[in-house]
Amino acid sequence: MEIRKGIAVSPGIAIAKPMLIDSKDYRIPRRSILPSNRAREIQRLRKAFSTAISELEEIGSSQDIKKNNIQDIFAVHMRFLRDRSFRKRITDFISKELVTAEYAVSAILREIASHFAGIDDPYISERAADIYDIEKRLLIFLLGKRQEEVDHLREEVVILAGDLTPTQTAGFNKSFVKGFATEKGGRTSHTAIVARSLGIPAVVALGDMSSEVPPECVVIVDGYRGVVVIDPDEDTLSQYNQYSRQMTQFTSKLDELREFPADTRDGVHIQLMGNIEFPDEAQIVVEKGGEGIGLYRTEFLYLYGGQEPTEEDHYEAYAEAIRAVQGKPVVIRTMDLGADKLPHSGWHAHESNPVLGLRSIRYCLQSLPLFKVQLRAILRASVLGDVRVMFPLITNLQELRQAKMILRDVMEDLDEYAVPYNSELPIGIMIETPSSALTAGLLANESSFFSIGTNDLIQYTLAVDRANEHVSTLFSGAEPAVLRLLRSVIQDVHKAGIGLSVCGEMASDPEFIMLLLGMGVRVLSLAPPMIPEVKKIIRSVTIEECNQLSRKVATMDSHRQIKNYLRDATTRILPETF
């Protein structure tokens, strides 16, 4: 028996025989062509694009995909394949470098994928898998090869692979593919989103799995705990069969809560909203029972496609999300570029410490044409629903005033051309640094609302780079210093009478929910899949119970003591999760 621990990305228990899938990671050697062959290679490229688009349209139109409302997952792939500037970049490479179409595809797409993979943001870095998916799809047609299919299965299996693409996952026959486990991947990849939407249990990031998996053995994929058991003994198999039955009942009860309000037992309503990166994810928030979009991260518009998005690109993306939530709030955060999130085009300075350098609102204030394009689109979209704008990484009052001044300038431009917009657009800021937390009272006087971004707030408060493996264990929201800053901000907000939400990972972590409620938070913006589970916690407690927990935590002096206390309290409500 071999037990491997990874990241749980799609809940459920799968018990079946293994099926190993070769990821077919094609490595294309550089091959030169004669100038006279340019047209032939470009024609081959066009045919590959055309065939890839047709195949994606067929996948997206299948009834299983439509029924689960995940056809939009492939919209990014389709937009990429239809992007003229993207195609031109490859054809120009063929013409200038005199290389084969397959080498040009591989070189350009791997350059883009490497850019994503090197970014210190799990969600963005995991988008590299989508680029590799597009590359493989094009190469299959250019090389005349087909990847191994699992369409002809006649028995239940668990898929084991180095990695899987979203389209591979969407093509699985759920009658036979009971779950999958991969060596790579992350919580927020599109493959993970597809798996959750289709109800396929999945564990990723297992590292090098054993290459000696007996073909006739049984494999268990535990999508709740992030565990894979290869060739389990009889006791383990029996325990997992019982656990699977228990979790099926638990999940069914959570699903029943989707239509109920997130009210505590003593009648206090907590607004649960969703964090999204792409407009198609807004529908997932609605399906999970979310009450709007609390954080729409917009920098992805700049990181895809190889060129700066136009005002229309911005507008269409925002409009799609606004329409999906049907009148519910949509908080659009202006671009959080800089540091490790840089667009493919445009000037940027070399910085020895970019996390403390020209990023977020600082980048915007020094890139005014870029900033104004986005603000124009947000203002135009503001008439479509309950839209709010939010500036990231504000550290002082001067930055906020500058950003608001530029927004007013854009409003005047729209007035000149009689373009409609909401002149009373609510303006908020992210509280992500100790400086903004400590001056929250001043900033609140010129803001409509705050959203506490706990990820950066923890990082800057503790001086810990969470991506640095040598110190990442020190990154904890349970540190007393972090909690004191949170309390201070919440108190200042209540005095000022403005809106407040928490949108970082703490809002998605069941262990912190009671504490946040006890500290006075009434709006949480979280990962959409976590909404039912967090709602269960909220509906199981009273505010007074949360207040008592918060007061107890305030007397503790170590993050380990606090973490254990919070875990024990949450386990009493959701024993199935731990």
Q: Report how far residue 157's alpha carbon sits from residue 422's, in angstroms, rounded to the nearest whole number.
A: 54
Q: What is the largest CA-CA distance in the chain?
A: 79
- Region of 226 (left: φ > 0; alpha: ψ -120 to 50; beta: rest) is left
Per-residue tokens: 351: 């910085």
Q: Are 201 and 11 in contact (CB under 8 A)?
A: yes
Per-residue tokens: 477: 């929201």
Q: Is 98 exposed, middle or buried (0-12, 13-18, 19+ CB in 10 A)?
A: middle
3-state secondary structure (DSSP) of residue 78: helix
Which among 333, 262, 261 is positioned nearest to 293, based on CA atoms?
333
Per DSSP, 328 falls in state: S
Q: DSSP readout, 419-484? A: ----TT--EEEEE-SHHHHHTHHHHHTT-SEEEE-HHHHHHHHHT--TT-TTTGGG--TT-HHHHH
Per DSSP, 529 falls in state: G
Catalytic residue positions, numbered: 190, 503
Q: Report how far residue 117's alpha carbon sits from residue 451's, in angstroms, rounded to the nearest whole number.
A: 27
Q: For tokens 């055309």, what's the residue?
A: 50
Per-residue tokens: 549: 């927990």
Q: Which residues pair with 274 in a beta bridge?
A: 293, 526
Q: What are phi and psi of 274, to 5 degrees?
A: -115, 150
Residues 6 or more apart whose Cβ sits within 8 Å of residue 235: none
